[in-house]
Amino acid sequence: MKIVINRDQLMNSIQDVMKAISSKPTIQVLSGMKIEATNEEVKLTGSDSDITIESIIPKEEDGIVHIHDVTPGKIVVQAKFLPDIIKKLPDDTVEIESDDDLNILIRSGQAEFKLNGQDPEEYPQLPLLETENSFHIQIDLLKTLIRQTNFAVSTSETRPVLTGVHFKLENNQLELVATDSHRLASRQIAMDEDTSQIEFKNIVIPGKSLGELNKILDESQESIQISVSDNQILFRTKHLFFLSRLLDGNYPETSRLIPDQSKTEVQVNAKDLMQTIDRASLLAKDNRNNIVKLMTQDQHKIEISSNSPEIGTAEEVLQTNSISGEDLKISFNAKYMIDALRAIDADEVKISFTGAMRPFIIEPIDDAEHILQLITPVRTY
Amino acid sequence: MKIVINRDQLMNSIQDVMKAISSKPTIQVLSGMKIEATNEEVKLTGSDSDITIESIIPKEEDGIVHIHDVTPGKIVVQAKFLPDIIKKLPDDTVEIESDDDLNILIRSGQAEFKLNGQDPEEYPQLPLLETENSFHIQIDLLKTLIRQTNFAVSTSETRPVLTGVHFKLENNQLELVATDSHRLASRQIAMDEDTSQIEFKNIVIPGKSLGELNKILDESQESIQISVSDNQILFRTKHLFFLSRLLDGNYPETSRLIPDQSKTEVQVNAKDLMQTIDRASLLAKDNRNNIVKLMTQDQHKIEISSNSPEIGTAEEVLQTNSISGEDLKISFNAKYMIDALRAIDADEVKISFTGAMRPFIIEPIDDAEHILQLITPVRTY
C-alpha cells in the first residue's frame, strides 16, 4: 500500500478514529488503526469492540484533491504515536507506504518514520448491520438531544442498563430518556420524515458512545442516518461510520416516575437561579453531598442556602417571576439542578414541586421543545 | 474590621497571594489569608513559611477608588474557598466584615456568606528583612532571566542546593546559574544602575519561589527592588512584597564545567533544529530516556534520529548554516535540547561540541545576551 495524502485531512480523520481506540485493548491488533487504500478513497478504522469508527477520505471532493497518489492495499499502524507524528510532520502532504513484511514508512519533507505494522488480516471484520430500521435526523438536533440527556446517565455499573440513554421511536415521535435513579432527563421530538413504519422501544445506547459521537460530529445542518438492529446502532454520515453496541437488559418504565400534578409552582429566570445555586453550593461542595436548600418566601421570593458546619453558611434571596401553591422547604443536590438548567437552556423555567419529599420537575416555560428534567430531593428538614 | 472594596481588584490580589498558601500548611493558621485594613489600604498576606506574599490594594490610585468604605481591623479568612466565592459574587463591589468573635460576613448584591475566621494574632509575624544589599531590575528582564534558567534546576532533593537558581552579583554583573548536574543554564547581564557597593556570591533561590514569582509578575517595564539578606530575598514592587527563604549550602563552582575549546562547531537555525528534534523524539519518549542521536554529514548537513526497537525509528536530515571541525556522532536527551533552544530564543544558534562524551554548549550566534546552555551527552555509540 502507498498513499500520498493531504496532512490536515488525514489528521482530522485520525483524531475522529482515535476516539474508538483504547489504550488497553482486549486484543492486541485493536491497539492499532487500520488504513485501507483503494483507488477511490482511504478508509481509517478504529475499534474498542464497544465502539467502531470508520472515517473515509475521498480521493477528491468538491474539486479539492485529498489523495495525490495511491497504490491500493491495507495495513494496521500502531495508533499510540500516530496522531503526534502526523501533527508534527513538516510538510503539507504525507506519504505512507507499507510492504509485505508489515514495515511502514511515513515520510514528509525530510522527516522519515519507520514503524512496525500489524497484519490487517488479523483485524476483526466489522459486523454487518442488517436492518430496515433506519431514519434520518439533523446533526445539530442529534447533538442537542445528546447534550440534553446524556449527562444524566448512571456512572455506576450496579444497573448497567442505566449507564445508557433509552431511545424510543413510536408514532413518528423520538424520545430520549436518561436516569441514574436520582434524576432523570428526557427530550421528545416529532420526526420530520415519515417514520411510521419504524418502531423501537428498548434501544439503550451506552452514554460513553453518545459522548464520543457528540465530540466527533461538528455542528451541521446536514442529516445523519441512524440504523438500529437488535444489538447495534449505526450512525452514518457521508464520510463517517459510527457503530456502537447496545446495552442489554430492559430499560425501566420511567413515565410513572413523573408526577402529573404539583403543589407548588415557581417560575424563575434560569440564569439567575443557576448562578445563585452555584454560589450557595460553593461551601457545600466540600462535604461531598453538595446539598442546597430552597425555601419559598413572601413576595415571590425564594431563599437559596447551604450550611457546612465547619466552614460557614451561604444564603441568597432571589426574586422569581411567580410562586403559586403551598409554601415549601426542600433540599437537593446543587449539581443536579445546575446540570438540568444548563440542559434546558431556556431563559425562563417552571419548577413544579409536589412536597419536600417527592421528585420535582424543571421545564422551560415555553415548552415547545418537550424537554423535562426531574430531580429527587434529599431529606434534610 | 469592615471594608467595601472593588471585586476585580480584590480578586487579583487574592490570586497573587494564594500562590503562597499551601493546602497542607505546617501550622493551621497558614491555611488562611490575613486581611488587614487601614484607612489607607487593604493588605492581604499568605505564607507557606518558604514563601510569603503580601499584596496591597490602596484606597485610591490614579483617581480610581478601590476601597469605598473601611473600618480598620484585621482577620484571617479560610483561603480554600475565598477565590471561588469572590469570583462568583454577583456585584462589582464586595463587603467584608468581621466581628470580635472572628465571624466573617461576605456580602455582595443579595448573596451573603458567613465564614468562621481565625485569630489574626496567631498569624506569624513576617521576619523583617534587614539588609543593605538592595538593587533594582526591570520586571520584564527579571522574568526573562527566570525563564532562561529556572527550568534547569534539579527536581531531586538529593542535593537540595541544586533545586535553586544561583544568583551572583559582582562588579556590576548579575549572573544566574541553574543546573541539575545533567545540564546547565546560565545568563549574565550588566546592571543598569551602579551596584558596585553590593556583592553576593552564594545566594540560591528555590526554583519553586522563582516560578511563583514569575507567574505573579505581569510583563512590565517598571522596576522591581531586590533585597538580599543571609537567609532571605525580598522582591518588592509598589503593591507586592514577595519574600522567599534562600537555600542553605554551598552552590558548586560551575564555571569549570564549561569547556573553553571545541572540536566541532555547528551553526543552525534554532526553530528548524527544535522541530526536527521534537519529531525525532516522538518515538523515543516511550522508553523514558528520550534519547536522540545527532550525526554530522557532508555538505553542512546533520542527521537527527532515534530508535525504539519495539516501535520503530525516526530520522531526518537537516541543513545547517555551517559545520566546522571533526565529524561527530553524539546522543543526548531531546527534552534538554528543546528546553535549551527555547530558553535561548534566538533565530540562529551555535553548538560547540568537544567530542561525543563531553558536555556541549548552545549559545545564540549573536551573543550580546551572554546566555549559555550546557548539556551532558549520553553514551550510546
Q: Give the ipTM of the model, two decimals please.
A: 0.86
Grid cell locating A142? 442529534
Nearest to A205, CA basis, from A241, A254, A160:
A160
Q: Which tens digit of pLDDT belongs to each residue from A48-75?
A: 989 999 999 999 999 999 999 999 999 9
Note whether A114 contacts B: Cβ–Cβ < 8 A: yes
Note whether A84 contacts B: Cβ–Cβ < 8 A: yes
Question: Counting beta carbons within 10 angstroms of the beta carbon of residue A336, is it exposed (0 to 12), middle (13 to 18) or buried (19 or more)?
Answer: buried
% of chain A with per-residue pLDDT over 90? 85
List, in sequence order, every residue forming a beta bridge with A317; answer none if it has no partner: A303
Grid cell locating B64? 480610581
How high is the pLDDT of residue A153? 98
Backbone angles phi, psi at A272, to 5 degrees: -60, -45
- Residue type for position A24: K
Q: Which residues of B touch A278 (CB under 8 A)?
A: 88
Nearest to B282, CA basis, from B249, B251, B305:
B305
- Indicate if the pLDDT at residue A209 is higher than 90: yes
Partner-chain residue, chosen from B84, B104, B282, that has the shortest CB–CB distance to A88: B282
- Cβ atoms A284, A332 nearer than 8 A: no
In angstroms, the CA A166 to CA A291 distance is: 28
Q: Which residues of A touch B278 (CB under 8 A)?
A: 88
Q: Which tens digit of pLDDT belongs to each residue from B131-170?
A: 778 899 999 999 999 999 999 999 999 999 999 999 999 9
- Residue type for position A174: L
Note whether A92 contacts B: Cβ–Cβ < 8 A: no
Q: Which residues of B touch A87 (CB under 8 A)?
A: none
Q: Which residues of B touch A310 (CB under 8 A)?
A: 116
Per-residue exposure over A158-196, b if at least 16 CB sit within 10 Å of its own CB, e if not: eeeebbbbbbbbeebebbbbbbbebbbbbbebebeeebe
- Cβ atoms B200, B167 nearer than 8 A: yes
Q: Do B111 and A85 touch (CB under 8 A)?
A: no
* CA atoms within a 13 Å half-sphere pointing along the CA-CB vector of B223: 9
Q: Do A113 and B312 touch (CB under 8 A)?
A: yes
In angstroms, the CA A165 to CA A142 distance is: 13
How high is the pLDDT of residue A14? 97
Number of cross-chain residue pairs from A and B with Cβ atoms under 8 Å apart: 84
Contacts of A219 (CB under 8 A, 6+ apart): A139, A140, A143
In angstroms, the CA B292 to CA B284 distance is: 7
**CATH, domain A258-375, list 2.40.37.20, 3.20.20.80, 3.70.10.10, 3.40.50.2000:** 3.70.10.10
- In this chain, the answer to whether the domains covering A2-122 and A258-375 adopt an identical fold is no
CA-based nearest distance A335→chain B, Å: 16
How high is the pLDDT of residue B49? 84
How high is the pLDDT of residue B286? 66
Indicate the pLDDT class of residue B381, thresholds 50, 70 and 90.
low
How high is the pLDDT of residue A131? 73
How high is the pLDDT of residue B288? 64
When pLDDT is averaged across residues A252-266 and rounded to a whole number, the result is: 92
Partner-chain residue, chosen from B84, B279, B286, that has the shortest CB–CB distance to A111: B279
- CATH code for the part of the protein at A2-122: 3.10.150.10
* CA atoms within a 13 Å half-sphere pointing along the CA-CB vector of A254: 28
- Residue type for position A321: N
CA-based nearest distance B97→chain A, Å: 14
Q: Do A279 and B85 touch (CB under 8 A)?
A: yes
Q: Which tens digit of pLDDT belongs to each residue from A118-168?
A: 999 999 987 767 677 889 999 999 999 999 999 999 999 999 999 999 999
Q: Which tens digit of pLDDT belongs to each residue from A11-41?
A: 999 999 999 999 899 899 999 999 999 999 9
Neighbours of B33 (CB within 10 A): 27
Q: Which tens digit of pLDDT belongs to each residue from A106-124?
A: 999 999 999 999 999 999 9
- Indicate if the pLDDT at residue A288 is higher than 70: no
CA-to-CA separations, B373 to B45, B219, B361, B370, in angstroms, rounded: 37, 24, 6, 10
> For an interface test with A, which of B316, B318, B319, B338 has the most A Cβ atoms less than 10 Å from its Cβ?
B316
Q: Do A282 and B116 touch (CB under 8 A)?
A: no
How high is the pLDDT of residue A141? 96
What does the mean pLDDT of chain A come to? Answer: 93
CA-to-CA separations, A141 to A136, A153, A172, A177, A186, in angstroms, rounded: 11, 19, 16, 15, 14
Backbone angles phi, psi at B284, to 5 degrees: -75, -20
List the 151-180 stretch of B: residues with Cβ below 8 A of A. none
CA-to-CA separations, B218 to A6, A216, A369, B59, B242, in angstroms, rounded: 41, 38, 48, 21, 14
Note whether B112 contacts A: Cβ–Cβ < 8 A: yes
Question: Counting beta carbons within 10 angstroms of the beta carbon of residue B147, is it exposed (0 to 12), middle (13 to 18) or buried (19 or more)?
Answer: middle
CA-to-CA separations, B105 to A34, A38, B108, B329, in angstroms, rounded: 62, 71, 10, 68
How high is the pLDDT of residue B368? 74
Domain range list for chain B = 2-122, 133-255, 258-375
When pLDDT is averaged across residues B193-211 and rounded to a whole number, the result is: 90
Q: Which of A88-92, A176-180, B247-251, B281-285 has the lowest mean pLDDT?
A: B281-285
CA B294 to chain centre: 31
List the 190-249 stretch of B: residues with Cβ below 8 A of A. none
Grid cell locating A98? 507499507
Nearest to B66, CA basis, from B120, B12, B1:
B12
Q: Do B116 and A312 touch (CB under 8 A)?
A: yes
- Indicate if the pLDDT at residue A367 is higher than 80: no
CA B130 to chain centre: 24
Q: Which residues of B touch A85 (CB under 8 A)?
A: 279, 282
Domain range B133-255, CATH class: alpha beta
Q: Which tens digit of pLDDT belongs to each residue from A302-343?
A: 999 999 888 899 999 999 999 999 999 999 999 999 999 999
List, in sequence order, every residue forming a beta bridge with A316; answer none if it has no partner: A304, B111
How high is the pLDDT of residue B352? 97
- Indicate if the pLDDT at residue A290 is higher than 80: yes
Four-point Cα dihedral B12, B17, B22, B25, nearest 10: -140
Q: Do A90 and B279 touch (CB under 8 A)?
A: yes
List the 290-319 stretch of B: residues with Cβ below 8 A of A. 310-318
Note whether A278 contacts B: Cβ–Cβ < 8 A: yes
How high is the pLDDT of residue B131? 73
Q: Do B78 and A315 touch (CB under 8 A)?
A: no
Q: Do B313 and A114 touch (CB under 8 A)?
A: yes
Partner-chain residue, chosen from B81, B311, B318, that has the shortest CB–CB distance to A116: B311
Q: Which chain B residue is nearest to residue A87, measuring alpha carbons?
A: B279
Q: Which tens digit of pLDDT belongs to each residue from B118-136?
A: 999 999 987 767 677 889 9
Indicate the pLDDT class of residue A381, thresholds 50, 70 and 90.
low
Per-residue exposure over B275-284, b if at least 16 CB sit within 10 Å of its own CB, e if not: bbbbbbbbbb
- Cβ atoms B251, B165 nearer than 8 A: no
- Indicate if the pLDDT at residue A256 is higher than 90: no
When pLDDT is averaged across residues B10-19 and rounded to a whole number, the result is: 97
CA B74 to chain centre: 31
CA-based nearest distance B75→chain A, Å: 15
